[in-house]
Structure 1
Amino acid sequence: MSVLEFIDTPICPSALSPSHSNDQTLHAENETKLAAQTLATPDELVDQIIAQVGKKIVIGVPLAIGKPIAFINALYQRAKADPSISLRIETGITLEKPIGKSTLEKNFLGPFVEREFANVPDIDYICGLRKGDMPSNICVNEFFFKAGSFLNSTQQLNYTSTNYTHAVRDLLDKGVNVVAQIVAKRIINGVTTYSLCSNSDLALDFIPEMDRLKAEGVPMAIVGEVNNNMPFMRNHAEVADCEFDFILDGNLNEKHEDYALFAAPNASISQEDHMIGLYSSTLIKDGGTLQVGIGSLSSALTYSTMLRHQNNSVYQQVLHDLQVAEKFPLSCVIGETGTFEEGLYGCSELMVDGFMHLFKAGILKREVFEDLTIQTLLNENKITPKVTISTLLTLLEHNAISSVLNSDDVDYLKRIGVFKSSVHYHNGLLNITDSSYLGNLKNEEALQWITKHCLNSALCGGVVMHGAFFIGPKDFYEALNTMTDAEHDQFCMTSVNYVNELYDHFLGSQQLKQAQRKHARFINSAMMVTLNGSVISDALENGQVVSGVGGQYNFVAQAHQLPGARSILKLRSCCVRGGKLQSNILFNYGHTTIPRHLRDTVITEYGIADLRSKSDHVVYTELIKIADSRFQQELLEKAKAAGKVAKDYQIPAEFCNNTPEAIAQVYDKYTAQDFFGPFPFGCSFTEEELKLGKALKSLKNKTATRKGKAQCLWQALSAPKPTAAIEPLLKRIGMNEPNNLQDRITKRLLTAELSK
């Protein structure tokens, strides 16, 4: 159901109470507002904004792809040229095309970026930050960095730590007086509406708050920038044109072309990622709720979940080879490993392309409804989405309707899809076409007439996915753009406060959200975890911010509040930092994102650690069991020295072979059968680029230390001449004809790596 419908329609037994009433509305009053003023050029819009709010502008723009680039660039350039303008930009996840640091990286990325990001404009303020020429009258604050993008940067000074659900509050506290984002536009029967598209996350909560401030006389402006490359998302994301003060629509200009959206290429899924995804997939319960993050770990989970459903015999064999049930009984206690008959419902702040893959695979199919009575009866298996006369009688039994139907009952039954929309109530009779009858549910003949004339085939308004924002690869946007009307009805972009919290919200009550989110599995990624169960996901112990808290804390807390829910945090067991292999399972660390008292489930490529409700001895040993074996003894000794693990404890033998080689034995067996590939959902790189990328990554890791550099240089001296197969690769990266000594050494290093 769209927000437009919500505002204008009374609530029936729906989100707030088990009884319905025509005088209950989502908003007490829907004040008449003027349609937005539409402008054709960014400079005209800048003029209007300055006229409305003045020259002290604090603008909030959404994270990721929802930024109105034409407008924000024009505003930035105006402030850059006019020092009397004070411009503060409040945002998160500013996306930028990769450029590379070294000559090799730049040569590698150049053709790729030109191909993959054609017609994607640069954001001027991020270019200014990178060049270091940001004027003193302009400031950029972010509440979530693109991962690792501002380490060792002065932008560390301008980071705001906040939960995603607190962003609207915090931005208003910071004096935001302009909110702007990309929208898509459509006109049906002369009525213009706009979609919040990729970012309904904050806008749905911003609009009423800014309206309230405007009513108090505070100068404010809400801006939409039309870009029809954006998928037009409906339901909650579709809003009236009067919700904006200004609309920038370049399409009013002849020959205008909307710029392309920033698309994130599919990341390579490593063998470690695949194992983490596999273990995670065993904890998902059929008929449950799923939330996931972004990146290769998310893609790996999607892949294994699809393998479980589409090729269950292979899936079961992999689990058998890894002894999952025996080593990690939690998978049998809270999870399942069969196919998805009832299916999953997606409830995730970030709607990634994985949800579309699950939808097309017939896994994302459990519908939830905006009516508490209906949702509760579905959960209790007292009704199904298919409508029969039993549906009607069950609603009567639970006092959702009267035995003698009245006009309110009929409106309600039509809204939830039990009755056809063509049914009408008049003077105590149900009417449809040329037939009418008493709406007495105690009368057998009346029931027969209702069955024949009034009943719909299925409930309406079912949603399989609630999301707050999205970003993904090009084919994801294309899939969203080409959905049928029926498919669009099942995907609802909504407020982040609706998705990330359980509290009452104008789009749904806590009771409704709890009913929808049965068997919830909130699955997120982390960087490190300490043996006491604390999790590090957003920053380093020196205070430098890697990304942000975002919604992770919300979902972890929600998992502890919802009956039957679990928080699952995934991380690779170790990584290379400063050229040295280090464990991501640590004894302690000087920063925490998720505190130890909210510990729940942690997964690495070596298995599952069940930490919820466990004593410290168990928590410490469970995490040591899924650590890389190269670090297990050191971790165990520290734990024993601190008195957190019994002195006589020994790591069970079955957990003492946690090595990449052990994983490879299982992984290689199935990759030879074309399972668990690095790019199961497509690849944006050419074969040449994949080979070069692998070699460059390997060289970067090997030369991260002085010793590594020396070894590589020694090997390069004896490197063979480039073969005919290697020559085109060197040419692709601009190293076929080196101009100086450094380039000649680089050519030898790369040749040696490519020859392996």
Structure 2
Amino acid sequence: MPTLYSIEDAIDHVLQEIEGPIHLGLPLGLGKPNRWVNALYARIRELPERQLTIYTALCLGRPQASQGLQQRFLDPFVERVYGDYPELDFLTDLLRNQLPANVRVEQFFLQPGSLLDNDQAQQDYISSNYSHVARDLNDKGINLIAQLVAQDPEQPEHFSLSCNPDISLDLLPMLEARRAAGETILCVAQVHDALPFMGGPARVRRDRFDIQLEDTEYSTLFCTPNMPVTLQDHCIGLHASTLVRDGGTLQIGIGAMGDALTAALLARQGDNAGYRALLEELQGGHWAAEIERIGGLDGFSEGLYGCSEMFVSGLLALAEAGVLRRRVYPELRVQQLASAGAFDSEGRLTSVQSLLNAGVPDHLDANTLAGLQASGLLADTLRLEGTQLVLPDGQRLSADLRDPATQVGLQDFLGRAGDGVVLHGGFFLGPEGFYQRLSELSREQLAAFAMTGIRFINELHHDEALKRLQRRDARFINSIFTVTLLGAAVADQLEDGRVLSGVGGQYNFVAQAHALDDARSILLLRSWREVDGHVSSNIVWDYGHVTIPRHLRDIVVTEYGIADLRGKTDAQVIEALLSICDSRFQAQLIERAQQAGKLPGDFQLDPRFCDNRPERLQALEQKHGALFTEYPLGSDFNREERDLLRALTWLKRRFKLTEMLELGKAALEAPKPEVFPRHLARMGLESPDGLREEFYQRLVLAGLQATTRE
């Protein structure tokens, strides 16, 4: 059992036991014990002779706006939603470029977009595939790890790694090997009262940790509120949802496009007629052959299995709706039976004949019987004596499973496979409602969601035969922000070298899609963007950096359709991407490809794809409004905040702050304040004080008039 320490005593112990530089590993995202980390950081700041390097990822800080309208919108929302969440002091200093000389922070994934202009963070970024992070951190000599854990009074010998077994499960054995060789390595755990106790692989013995903080953490868990799902996002999700095959495997990422995909899958299951009607108008049958070959339009009779590094709220919503329900099993023998159709939807063995159909030997021997009993598939009250099975009442049956009498006699002794799960996830992070729903699940319900190490999820190596059976018809669906006409994709870094977020596990999943039979990588892309009133294409001829090289190109989906790039020639790839490109940019892209000799001089794009314009999609939105919900998975924003967020986004996209003439015109055309009194009160602009606030008020009113829905 770990020794109980106060926060300060734990720091004293660490400083005493680790004599040289401290190499601290912290989980990405939610699993950091922030108060203890802050106390350690404060102590090290006052000890310039001690060196501290923090290795982590996705350091979470409250959304911030420096001034103006965004600050007026954010401050009350942040206060309400993030409550007493303790900020990471080292992150605050990093953002201000004020880290002390004896402290470094190295991250392998950044909170998206938050550190683009921070030189120190950019210089200390580590580019690693997610599945390689444990190896890389161990090589750096980590000698201290600290993590939030969950506890269950009925399981006093164990902790749950809960939200973050991802790196820890892979790293702990490496640390133990180094400790056995004589190195000093300390592991710190702090219980967080709000974290659910996730069992399975995430359940570890308490003695894996040396130090347990005696104070349980009760502060607000950091949440990521659902952001609005735009028309672009919804159309992308609809197209992608047609490529998911019933009975298959699903991986999705966080963000509005992932929420849109979830909403489309829920509609495919719950409103199949409406779903099909919308798709017919959206697609016009253009990708019918691809959909039939790769996915489908019917509801999910067999259900999906989730294999996703991130357990997002959308996956929980799919499980609640009965879409995510195909169970997989940790033992190869049991999974072989499941894959052969030997179980019903609850994992119960359907018949003795189903064992034979799945390849179980005709004649039961002692080892086979023991294996089936250990897996719960046959009652442990059965005994084998020679060539006969003995039932509890003494009745004897032939051990030949083909014998009709044996098949009938064993029907009441068939059992249910244990340990079946509908999802393997590496970490979770999401809105407050997601945590609440997890906390309300029973132990049995939680057991269907297995949190585990990232190498299990992101790689096929180790237990490859088992994983191949589990991950049938896998669809690995992730987002990108740019794709070149030759099929290279960009998701993590700008072409000038600045890191937006990180490669994470995207490359892992793309490579896996090419290695697994019948698997596909599907990359989601908004075909165009608008910044400061300037519209540009996200499908480009070339880009100075790639995340996914073009030789791994597979499927790209935009709001305009589906481009299947696998195995295509360069000219075919270009044509497929032009077909899902916004028509405002097609001509110039065709010209670039022709100049490079990649398209013939007389190339003409199929006329069916020459009306890829937002106006066509907007008409569909008006007609099928029920399937274009702005927050399909719920929202932490109240009604006024949803309206204001839409208005502020409109202002940001349309105008630069330097374009005062255009801003002034918009302000002059704004409606009267009494049209939106609650919205102005929410922004503190109901009674503007001075010219600046009067101008702010007019801008907000203009944005509300342009974007507020009935």
Contact 1:396 1:403 in 2 (8 A): no
Q: Distance in 2 between matches of 1:436 and 1:76?
A: 71
SS at match of 1:186: coil
1:145 aligns with 2:116: no
1:455 aligns with 2:420: no
The answer for the alignment partner of 1:620 in structure 2 is 574
Mapping of residues 547-586 of structure 1, within 5 Å: 547-577=501-531, 579-586=533-540
SS at match of 2:176: helix
Mapping of residues 330-341 of structure 1, within 5 Å: 330-341=290-301
My pick for the range that moved more, 528-537 or 239-248, is 239-248
Q: Distance in 2 between matches of 1:726 and 1:461?
A: 55
**One-letter identity of the residue aligned with 2:46:** A
Distance verdict in 2 for CA 1:398–1:576, change over 3 Å: same
Q: Distance in 1 between matches of 2:239 and 2:519?
A: 17
Residue 160 of structure 1: how far off its partner (Å): 0.6
Residue 373 of structure 1: how far off its partner (Å): 3.0
**One-letter identity of the residue aligned with 1:368:** V
Contact 1:274 1:301 in 2 (8 A): yes
Partner deviation per Cα, 1:339-373 (whole Å, 9 max, x = no partner): 10111000011110111111111111111112223
Match of 1:662 among 592, 595, 616: 616
Contact 2:532 2:654 in 1 (8 A): no
The answer for the alignment partner of 1:5 in structure 2 is none
1:689 aligns with 2:641: yes
The answer for the alignment partner of 2:175 in structure 1 is 210
**One-letter identity of the residue aligned with 1:582:** S
Partner deviation per Cα, 1:405-463 (whole Å, 9 max, x = no partner): 42x4343212322123565779999777665757834695983686166322x322211
1:510 aligns with 2:464: yes
Distance verdict in 2 for CA 1:535–1:195, change over 3 Å: same
Match of 1:487 among 442, 445, 463: 445
Residue 738 of structure 1: how far off its partner (Å): 3.9
Contact 1:56 1:86 in 2 (8 A): yes
The answer for the alignment partner of 2:430 in structure 1 is 472
Let me know the Cα RMSD of the aligned residues: 2.3
Contact 1:65 1:261 in 2 (8 A): yes
SS at match of 1:188: coil
My pick for the range that moved more, 579-588 or 272-281, is 579-588
**One-letter identity of the residue aligned with 1:370:** P
My pick for the range that moved more, 390-399 or 517-526, is 390-399
Contact 1:702 1:712 in 2 (8 A): no
Match of 1:646 among 600, 606, 611: 600
The answer for the alignment partner of 1:637 in structure 2 is 591
The answer for the alignment partner of 1:182 in structure 2 is 148
Residue 172 of structure 1: how far off its partner (Å): 1.3
Distance verdict in 2 for CA 1:433–1:216, change over 3 Å: same
Q: Distance in 2 between matches of 1:380 and 1:451?
A: 20
Residue 608 of structure 1: how far off its partner (Å): 0.5
Partner deviation per Cα, 1:614-640 (whole Å, 9 max, x = no partner): 000000111111111111100011011
Contact 1:325 1:332 in 2 (8 A): no
SS at match of 2:100: coil
Distance verdict in 2 for CA 1:178–1:425, change over 3 Å: farther
Residue 55 of structure 1: how far off its partner (Å): 4.8
Q: Distance in 2 between matches of 1:728 and 1:309?
A: 38
Mapping of residues 230-629 of structure 1, within 5 Å: 230-251=195-216, 258-327=218-287, 329-381=289-341, 384=344, 385-390=347-352, 393-394=355-356, 397-399=359-361, 403-406=363-366, 408-420=367-379, 440-441=399-400, 447=406, 451=410, 454-456=413-415, 458-504=416-462, 509-577=463-531, 579-629=533-583
My pick for the range that moved more, 114-123 or 410-419, is 410-419
Match of 1:735 among 657, 660, 685: 685
Distance verdict in 2 for CA 1:404–1:537, change over 3 Å: closer
1:61 aligns with 2:13: no
Mapping of residues 36-51 of structure 1, within 5 Å: 36-39=2-5, 41-51=6-16
The answer for the alignment partner of 2:627 in structure 1 is 675
Match of 2:660 among 709, 726, 748: 709
SS at match of 1:498: helix
Contact 1:250 1:258 in 2 (8 A): no
Matched residue pairs, number? 703
SS at match of 2:189: strand
- Normalized against structure 1, the TM-score is what? 0.89
**One-letter identity of the residue aligned with 2:593:** A
Q: Distance in 2 between matches of 1:247 and 1:211?
A: 18
Residue 313 of structure 1: how far off its partner (Å): 0.6
Partner deviation per Cα, 1:219-242 (whole Å, 9 max, x = no partner): 111222110201111111111112
My pick for the range that moved more, 132-141 or 551-560, is 132-141
Is there any run of 5+ residues in structure 2 with no aligned partner, and where? none
My pick for the range that moved more, 553-562 or 643-652, is 643-652
The answer for the alignment partner of 2:124 in structure 1 is 158
The answer for the alignment partner of 1:754 in structure 2 is 704
Q: Distance in 2 between matches of 1:549 and 1:293?
A: 13
Distance verdict in 2 for CA 1:309–1:81, change over 3 Å: same
My pick for the range that moved more, 110-119 or 276-285, is 110-119
**One-letter identity of the residue aligned with 2:255:** G
Mapping of residues 76-87 of structure 1, within 5 Å: 76-87=41-52
SS at match of 2:14: helix
Partner deviation per Cα, 1:143-201 (whole Å, 9 max, x = no partner): 00111010111211111111000101111122211122110012327x42110101110
Residue 491 of structure 1: how far off its partner (Å): 1.1
Partner deviation per Cα, 1:113-161 (whole Å, 9 max, x = no partner): 1111112111111112233332111111110011101011121111111
Contact 2:342 2:358 in 1 (8 A): no
1:167 aligns with 2:133: yes
Dislocated runs of 4+, deviation >6 Å: 424-434
SS at match of 1:639: helix
Partner deviation per Cα, 1:294-340 (whole Å, 9 max, x = no partner): 10100000000010111111111011112353346312221101010
Distance verdict in 2 for CA 1:463–1:752, change over 3 Å: closer
Residue 489 of structure 1: how far off its partner (Å): 2.5
Contact 1:55 1:84 in 2 (8 A): no
- Normalized against structure 2, the TM-score is what? 0.94
Contact 1:432 1:453 in 2 (8 A): no
Q: Distance in 2 between matches of 1:382 and 1:133?
A: 61
Distance verdict in 2 for CA 1:632–1:439, change over 3 Å: same
The answer for the alignment partner of 1:10 in structure 2 is none
My pick for the range that moved more, 737-746 or 303-312, is 737-746
Q: Distance in 1 between matches of 2:620 and 2:654?
A: 26
**One-letter identity of the residue aligned with 1:481:** S
**One-letter identity of the residue aligned with 1:42:** I
Q: Distance in 2 between matches of 1:292 and 1:413?
A: 34
Distance verdict in 2 for CA 1:393–1:140, change over 3 Å: closer
Contact 1:429 1:436 in 2 (8 A): no
Q: Distance in 1 between matches of 2:284 and 2:628?
A: 17
My pick for the range that moved more, 426-435 or 178-187, is 426-435
Q: Distance in 2 between matches of 1:167 and 1:127?
A: 24
Q: Distance in 2 between matches of 1:396 and 1:666?
A: 47
Contact 1:388 1:451 in 2 (8 A): no
Q: Distance in 1 between matches of 2:23 and 2:380?
A: 47
Partner deviation per Cα, 1:516-571 (whole Å, 9 max, x = no partner): 11000000000100001000000001000000000000000000000100000001
Match of 1:75 among 40, 50, 55: 40
SS at match of 2:624: helix
